[in-house]
Amino acid sequence: MGTLLRLKLGILFLGKKYLLICKVDKIGFIEIRITGSKGNLDLSPDNYDIREVISMLENAESLLYSGDKKDRPTISYRIEEGSVKHIFKTSIQFIIGFNAIIGQVNQSQNIDFLDIATAKAFENIQNIAAKKNYVFSLKTSLDYTNEIKLDKTTRFYRTEAIWADAEFYFYGKITNAGGKDKANIHLSTEELGSVTIETPKNFLEDYENNLLYKTFGIRATGKQHSETGEIDKSTLKFIELVDYQPKYDEQYLKGLRDKAKKNWLSVIDPDNWLREIRGGYEV
């Protein structure tokens, strides 16, 4: 009889045939363990403040998924003893990706290569470690997991010189405008998704027409990575609104075609031009 090895990787023997059996986990988790103290007491879930929990939830979301949050998979959470363990469970695909990230960060001791949201999450954890003298240990549920530690002696911060001031033009549909404390415009773009641009309240107060669900261009300033070109969308500030009404203009295109015929097509032999383009190649 055949024997099935009940492992993650097994071999089923049937006569002279072998069948490779792979058991693939679909869910995994990351563990963020924090050791430290609160006064004379060792850190534990009983004295770990709810604001600290909220901060870790936000940072973990960016560590696991830095894209548009509405498209991310479900991330479940639990807190455990020892001193404090945050367990974030989600799709194994993102656990594998995060394992690669912490391995590279640990090896290079640098976070400049990360995208903005992930880099900021590392910076936030580093700031907490330095401020409260906590020790953070980050690892995954994978058998071959990497692990990284952050404490008051580590320096996981982005290099400021890499981020330069820049000016941008964004085009899209305004989906929201305003705000109680800090006014901003939400612009839905094709290339970058939704961008939030800090906007002076007096501009929104004085603008006479309704902005919502209309297509505009917005000129703005912000920070841009000098090597990758990545835009830090959290730094965008409004300069001016650009009226943008793209449309198909048949007369304009016809004029361009007529101009090309007179200035270029009229002075060439199409057959000779095609032969020159082909060179020695014949179909």
Q: What is the pLDDT of residue 199?
A: 95
Domain 162-243 has CATH 3.40.50.300: no
Q: What is the pLDDT of residue 263?
A: 60
Q: How much helix, strand and coil, in percent to the nearest 5, is found in the chain?
A: 30, 35, 35
Q: What is the pLDDT of residue 67?
A: 74
Q: What is the pLDDT of residue 23?
A: 52
Domain locations in the chain? 27-158, 162-243
Sign of CA dihedral 226, 97, 69, 84: negative
Per-residue pLDDT of the chain (283 residues; tens, 9 = 90+): 333 333 444 444 445 555 444 455 689 999 999 999 999 999 999 999 999 999 999 999 999 987 777 778 899 999 999 999 999 999 999 999 999 999 999 999 999 999 888 999 999 999 999 999 999 999 999 999 999 999 999 999 998 778 889 999 999 999 999 988 889 999 999 888 899 999 999 999 888 888 899 899 999 999 998 888 889 999 999 999 987 766 656 676 667 667 666 666 566 666 776 667 666 655 4
Give CA–CA dist 218/174, Å, rounded.
Answer: 10
Q: What is the pLDDT of residue 4?
A: 35
Answer yes or no: are the C-beta atoms of 90 and 75 closer than 8 Å.
yes
Q: What is the pLDDT of residue 69?
A: 72
Q: What is the pLDDT of residue 173?
A: 92
Distances (CA, A) of 171 to 78, 176, 217, 244: 41, 15, 4, 8
- DSSP letter at 141 equals S
List the beta strands (DSSP E) in 82-230: 84-91, 135-140, 147-150, 163-178, 184-189, 193-198, 215-225
- The DSSP H or E segment spanning 234 is strand 231-243
> What dihedral do alpha carbons 61, 65, 67, 69 form, nearest 10°?
-50
